[in-house]
Amino acid sequence: MAALIGKGSIVNTLSSGPVGQILNKLHQDAEAADRERLGAIMADIEASGATLEQAAAEMIAEERMDYRAIYRGYADNFLNVSQAYGRFLYMIARACKATRIVEFGTSMGISTIYLATALRDNGGGHLIGSELEPTKVARARANLDAAGLADLVDYPRGRRA
């Protein structure tokens, strides 16, 4: 995506500078970190003989019993949006000229970077992120710092489990 600067033109910094560099790195890291976990899940489903729908229903039932414990097991996984979906989030935030965004489930901060970049390219704003896993909040903050977007994002402290 090209960046155009001038009166009435669209500014897009997704592909350039620190934002483009950190997004490329994070998508590569996510692919590597999540490949093994997703492969194991698919192997378990195939071995059980259950349909994908049955397996999904069982996973949802387990999450309902203790969501935080299940999610804590994914602390090292990114569980991120794809590049295409990230660009979609960016375009939606740009199209509606967003200046305030609330994100539920930050994980390592990939979607947050897409959304915060849209805020920056819109002229500024504020994003409130949320994440249950403290280690992921720390990684998201570091990734936002590396992208030069930390000034746009806040993670309010919530109750701890």
Summarize the confidence of residues 116-144 as an average pLDDT: 94
Summarize the confidence of residues 123-152 as an average pLDDT: 94
**pLDDT, position 4:** 40
Task: Encode pLDDT of 4-63 as tens digits.
Answer: 444 444 557 888 899 999 999 999 999 888 888 888 888 988 999 999 899 889 988 988
**pLDDT, position 126:** 97
**pLDDT, position 10:** 54
Burial class (CB in 10 A: 0-12, 13-18, 19+), 19: buried
Cβ–Cβ contacts within 10 Å for residue 151, how many?
A: 12
**pLDDT, position 6:** 44
pLDDT above 70 for 3: no
Q: Note whether 18 and 10 are within 8 A (CB).
A: no
> What domains lie within the chain, and their CATH numbers?
1-161 (3.40.50)
Q: Which helix (H) or strand (E) holds 153?
A: strand 153-154
* Rounded CA separation 140/135 (Å): 9
The pTM of the full predicted model, rounded to 2 decimals, is 0.80
| Cβ partners under 8 Å of residue 1, min gap 6 | 12, 14, 15, 87
pLDDT above 80 for 154: yes
Task: Encode pLDDT of 67-116 as tens digits.
Answer: 788 778 878 777 889 999 999 999 999 999 999 999 998 889 999 999 99
Q: Please report the DSSP string for 86-130 in residue order.
A: HHHHHHHHHHTT-SEEEEE--TTSHHHHHHHHHHHHTT--EEEEE
**pLDDT, position 34:** 83
